[in-house]
Amino acid sequence: MTFLLGTVFSLLASGAAAAGHLFPDCESGPLANNTVCDTTASVSNRAKGLVAALDTQEKFQLVVSTSPGVPRLGLPSYEWWQEALHGVASSPGVQFASSGNYSYATSFPQPILMGAAFDDKLIEAVATVVSTEARAFNNANRSGLDYWTPNINPYRDPRWGRGQETPGEDPFHIKSYVKSLIKGLQGDDPDYFKVVATCKHFAGYDIENWNGNERYEFDAIINPQELSEYYMQPFKACARDAKVASIMCSYNALNGVPTCASSYILQDVLRDHWNWTDDGFYVVSDCDAIQNVYMPHDYSPTREGAAADSLNAGTDLDCGTYYQTHLPAAYGRGLVDDAVIDQALVRLYSAQIRLGVFDPASSTAYRSLTFSDVNTPEAQDLALKAAEEGIVLIKNDGTLPLDIPSNGTLKIAFVGSWSNATAAQMQGNYAGIAPFVHNPLYAASQLPNVQVLFGGSPGDPTTGGYPAVLAAASAADVVFYVDGSNSGESADRNLIRWSGERRDIMTLVAGLGKPFVLLQMGDQLDDAPFLNQENVSAILWAGFPGQAGGDAIMNIVTGKTAPAGRLPVTQYPEEYVRLVPMTDMGLRPNETSGNPGRTYQWYDGATVPFGSGLHYTDFEVSLHEEDDGEAPSWAISDLLDGCAENYKDLCPFRSVAVRVENTGGVASDFVTLGFVAGEHGPVPYPIKQLVAYERLFGVAPGSAATASLNLTLGSLGRHDEAGNLVLYPGSYSLLVDVPTQATWNFTLSGDETVLEEWPQDSGPNQNATMVMLKQAI
């Protein structure tokens, strides 16, 4: 009668290696004389030196996320899995202290709200703080240096449970955003990565478990045109242009092949087409996508085959234990060879070398960052600013900003299930431990000349809280109804409407006839019942705004800050989710399937369109170009002739100046959005496509500022059915603002010209092990 709880864990030491982030001792450790410790050698030679010192069985243990290291070589254990979606986040490799130093990190808004700011400099600044804090944690041996962020799958369906983790639905927007983000995360030191960032989930991910379709098994069927023009765009920017050091392959299959076992996307597209081959660039699997290649994908016929197919396709690191467990047998059966395992290890250790792991602490200032660099006053201000910039004013009858008497008291009722929002609600997916989380109720309670009447939640679905809600609202001068919708990982939404119970209590309270402000948090819900409801005075969307979210909201509400955020997603009507299954990856309307089209590019029935956002003032937008009379024209060949860019889609076309005049009474930022529409390229034509944006800051009443919309040839191009990016002759219109305030028409003439030839998929692989095994039987 013995009870050995847990003792067997030690039987497989390598499977239970503790996370650790000590650096190898290159001064006097066993590796001191290995080339890896020679800072004068090239990165790849250093990595090869280390790999040459490993025996084969050791190698298989080092290509998993919880690496045991090699004690005999003084190579420490290492946890490759860190998260930092919007601040250093709780994850296997991040150890927050229970109190005091390193017990928290700055918590910025979720990307969906930061995306709404349309301010790339803001994103770079936020990412710079995150990487600084990450380095501080690492220097205290509290985290590794490989961060599995950002999530850049475009938010193509409003039900997606992880849409909140992305900047939105538009590929141009995500591209601009992610370039700034990666710059901030990886830093600008040519010799050292500040941290390794990881663009995920490559590619065609974005379903969690909708209606029994689990991400681990989902096979995304995407045609080359839409794959190239939409799903791949963010990764192209991240890998080719921003030179992110790591890419994560995804759970799903893409056109029949699990992405982690797809040499088409990992080799042909990523490494060959995008030239993503710098020292230290590696591919990591989602957790545990390599297991999924075996089951439930049933792609590889054996476990060893799944491990081999993934490694051979170019997945260098396994988040999980499958490589560790099954590569030895795969090697024994000849399914993998020495070259491919060495290639993975050279990539992984090159990344470590470029992080400075094998270099003296004096080699980079990153090694000197400490907890005094965490959640600094500047970082706190930035977290507040990021939330303020993102918040979107959807409706306003003049109630906002509130008129708070300077020598009296304004009674504000706070009701609804998010009014006293939890930290989890305020922060959203992949959060860290914040130094504080100021929710709307708290922030309001800090305002002078305001009395807060907290009425709690009405209950959903029960009505137990109705009386208290009504009592608070009845006793107040103004009612704030704070509520929202929360999706999450493994939790797609089925519905995007306000529930019947919420519509009931909200209209009941609004019916009291007091100024009624809907503070809409979390994911988008169809606001149609409230947009035309005159008892609803204002609607403000604040997403998941992070540690200073309540402060940001109240700064907007009181007019201390003027709102200027724009919706980075379409707010769809509730019926949308009945028209198209999540599994349908098609973007274009399809009469046969009933797909009404996805995103603002192809769907025109939005409740609140992409790019919408009101102000406390009025802006008039004008273009010099628009009054020039006849539309100008360019010859396509001329446009290309003068361009020296390696990648022709990056060739500049024209910088268009937009005059933005504040004709109202309140100083305000203004987000200048430029879209292209017109009859050019393959039918159907999209409604319009975002091609440039610039946020202008603090435009004073009565004054004007100028935004520059920098168009490239790529932004004028369209993708043919094979996925090639082509510049087509035809008519073009630049549309500025949402709704459009100014238009500039021009034409391109001459022959259509390919800007980028898209690599073709040879179709579902004859995967190597499948063939070999079949032959062996």
Q: In b/e form, how buried is each residue of 180-219, taking b as 16+ CB within 10 angstroms?
A: bbbbbbbbeeeebbbbbbbbbbbbbbbbbbbeebebbbbb
Return d(Cα 350, Cα 354) in angstroms, integer: 6
Q: What x-and-dash track marks residues 31-70 binding its own copies by CB under 8 A?
A: -----------------------------------x----
Q: How many CB atoms within 10 Å of residue 315?
A: 31
CB of 482 to its own copies, least distance (A): 15
Can you tell me which of 190, 377, 408, 500 binds its own copies, judged by CB under 8 A?
500
Q: Does 292 bind its own copies (CB under 8 A)?
A: yes
CB of 418 to its own copies, least distance (A): 16
Tell me if 299 sits within 8 A of 253, measured CB to CB: yes
Of 459 and 559, the one with the shorter C-beta distance to its own copies is: 459
Can you tell me which of 4, 18, 644, 683 binds its own copies, judged by CB under 8 A?
4
* Contacts of its own copies in 509-538 (CB under 8 A): none
Tell me if 439 sits within 8 A of 482, measured CB to CB: no
Q: Does 468 bind its own copies (CB under 8 A)?
A: yes
* Contacts of its own copies in 442-461 (CB under 8 A): 445-456, 459, 461
Q: Does 422 bind its own copies (CB under 8 A)?
A: no
Cα Rg of the chain, angstroms: 27
* Contacts of its own copies in 555-584 (CB under 8 A): 577-578
CB of 214 to its own copies, least distance (A): 7
Can you tell me which of 67, 262, 291, 689 binds its own copies, judged by CB under 8 A?
291
The catalytic residue among 157, 286, 483, 527 is 286
Q: What are phi and psi of 719, to 5 degrees?
A: -100, 135
Of 377 and 578, the one with the shorter C-beta distance to its own copies is: 578
CB of 545 to its own copies, least distance (A): 21
User: Which residues, in sequence order, are bridge partners of residue 676?
Assistant: 689, 734
Return d(Cα 717, Cα 726) in angstroms, integer: 5
Of 149 and 364, the one with the shorter C-beta distance to its own copies is: 149
* Contacts of its own copies in 293-332 (CB under 8 A): 294-298, 303, 319-322, 324-325
Q: What are phi and psi of 315, to 5 degrees?
A: -85, 110
CB of 439 to its own copies, least distance (A): 13
Packed helices 303-313 and 338-354: angle between N→C axes, nearest 10 degrees: 60
Q: Which stretch binds its own copies (CB under 8 A): 18-26, 126-134, 213-221, 356-364?
A: 213-221
Q: Which stretch binds its own copies (CB under 8 A): 469-477, 558-566, 606-614, 724-732?
A: 469-477
First to last CA, the chain: 47
Q: Does 504 bind its own copies (CB under 8 A)?
A: yes
Count of residues that bind its own copies according to CB under 8 A? 72
The full DSSP string for 112-180 is: HHHHTT--HHHHHHHHHHHHHHHHHHHHTTS--SBB---B-----STT-TTGGGSS-S-HHHHHHHHHH
CB of 98 to its own copies, least distance (A): 23
Of 288 and 694, the one with the shorter C-beta distance to its own copies is: 288
Return d(Cα 144, Cα 78) in angstroms, integer: 7
- Beta pairing class for 516-522 and 538-543: parallel
What does the angle CA 640 – CA 643 – CA 649 come to, to the nearest 5 degrees? 75
* Contacts of its own copies in 402-421 (CB under 8 A): 409
* Contacts of its own copies in 662-681 (CB under 8 A): none
Q: Which stretch binds its own copies (CB under 8 A): 236-244, 287-295, 596-604, 651-659?
A: 287-295
CB of 167 to its own copies, least distance (A): 26
| Identity of residue 436 | F
- Beta pairing class for 450-456 and 410-415: parallel
Q: Does 594 bind its own copies (CB under 8 A)?
A: no
Q: Does 11 bind its own copies (CB under 8 A)?
A: yes
Return d(Cα 437, Cα 717) in angstroms, integer: 44
Return d(Cα 347, Cα 341) in angstroms, integer: 10
Q: Specify whether 286 is catalytic.
A: yes
> Which pair of structure tokens corresponds to residue 727?
């510049």
Of 6 and 642, the one with the shorter C-beta distance to its own copies is: 6
CB of 290 to its own copies, least distance (A): 8
Beta-strand runs (E) in 486-638 = 516-522, 538-543, 619-623, 633-635
Of 102 and 498, the one with the shorter C-beta distance to its own copies is: 498
Q: Does 212 bind its own copies (CB under 8 A)?
A: yes
Give the CA count within 13 Å in the CB-facing half-sphere of 477.
Answer: 14
Q: Does 163 bind its own copies (CB under 8 A)?
A: no
Residues with a known catalytic role: 286
